[in-house]
Amino acid sequence: MAKEKIILTGDRPTGRLHIGHYVGSLRRRVELQNSGLYSKTFVFIADAQALTDNMDNPEKVRQNVIEVALDYLAAGLDPTKSTIFIQSQIPELCELSFYYMDLVTVSRLQRNPTVKTEIQMRNFEASIPVGFFTYPISQAADITAFKATTVPVGEDQEPMIEQAREIVRRFNYIYGETLVEPEILLPDNSACLRLPGTDGKAKMSKSLGNCIYLSDSADEVAKKIRSMYTDPDHLRVQDPGKLEGNTVFTYLDAFCRPEHFGRYLPEYPDLNELKAHYQRGGLGDVKVKKFLTAIMEEELSPIRNRRKEFEKDIPAIYDMLKKGCEAARETAAATLDEVRKAMKINYFDDAELIAEQAKRFKGEE
Ligand code: TRP
């Protein structure tokens, strides 16, 4: 029998979700959820992980839990098809992390490239919180507690998935085949792999102020696109323009579909022709930006409208999350039963063990 295929992924609730999250993973998750190829989909809000570098700002994390939940629903995650839950409400994940800590060395964690960069970004060099340093272990618990086979995430998460795979292999080697090795699922379009900020900087990030949020109004999106970074040497319409590092074209690579030309720019047959004209000269930034704005509006307006609807009943969102937590906890608890058994720490549910021990001590009399 083919192994059951299970999706799991999550986001730290440190801000509203932006279009980098959307093309990097969220859009894909919705497709996977609806594809019928997976027996289960788990999507969770990683509040405990967010606290590892926001320990002094619990209010920020709390506010953004509901923002992320709204973004999920707005983007099309459907609680009847996906289990949507909050990490901190699943205590089994802490238990699992505690056992995994035995299977990972300090030097292995120190080599994790994502953790390395994050430590630098946060000026943690001199005083790294232990919880932050070990979050790859807790992330391995997130993934394996649900026996996830497939983890759709951005490229920066690759070292986490690798670390999780190593933990699984080591666990299964020592304690017997119990856990499932997950596989990363990266976006297949390279523009989606790392969508730059509107200023052309490598990454979209709240602190750089270069994000387009899923919840931005149409006006905000249009304004952000108008001031978007293009080719600084493309001064006059007739000048030849460069595509490399040109954010508008990177966004077109991520969002443009063939049918968009018929609808918004019928004088061009496809994106290649548009690019060629830009490179030759004679095509102005304003025209390309207007095209991008139309495309973005087509993609974002249904999301924005759904969000507005969901915002009308916030208690219902918390209720949905609570139900998701209950369902997730059931799955995690079942895995923990297997883990405790494999690790021989299931003292009270094992009649055989008690009988065996009784016999041993009798024999010693
Ligand atoms: N580290 C991920 C991020 O920063 C969030 C996350 C936590 C996650 N646990 C996970 C993603 C497990 C996938 C699987 O976005």
Rounded-to-integer distance, Cα 202 and Cα 223, Å: 20
SS (H, E, C) 335-361: HHHHHHHHCCCCHHHCHHHHHHHHHHH
Measured in residues, the chain has a length of 365
Residues framing ligand 1 (Cβ under 6 A): 8-12, 46, 49, 139, 142-143, 151, 153, 157
Average pLDDT for residues 112-120, to the nearest whole number? 88
Q: Is the pLDDT of residue 255 over 50?
A: yes
Residue nearest to atom 15 of ligand 1 (CA): 11
Burial (CB count within 10 angstroms: exposed 0-12, middle 13-18, buried 19+), residue 344 = exposed
What is the pLDDT confidence band of residue 249, given thresholds at 50, 70 and 90?
very high
Residue nearest to atom 3 of ligand 1 (CA): 11
CA–centroid distance, 140 to ligand 1, in Å, is 9
Phi, psi of 84 (to 5 degrees): -105, 125
Alpha carbon dihedral 119, 123, 126, 128, in 10-degree steps, equals -40
Rounded-to-integer distance, Cα 167 and Cα 161, Å: 10
Half-sphere exposure of 148 (CA within 13 A, CB side): 30
What is the pLDDT confidence band of residue 324, given thresholds at 50, 70 and 90?
very high
Nearest to 151, CA basis, from 7, 334, 55, 254: 7
Residue nearest to atom 14 of ligand 1 (CA): 9
Q: Is the pLDDT of residue 365 over 60?
A: no
Residue nearest to atom 9 of ligand 1 (CA): 139
CA–centroid distance, 301 to ligand 1, in Å, is 27
CA–centroid distance, 304 to ligand 1, in Å, is 24
DSSP 180: -
Mean pLDDT across the chain: 94
Q: pLDDT tens across 14-55, in order? A: 999 999 999 989 999 999 999 999 999 999 999 999 999 999
CA–centroid distance, 334 to ligand 1, in Å, is 22
Ligand 1 mutation target, pool 44, 72, 115, 153, most atoms within 8 A of CB: 153
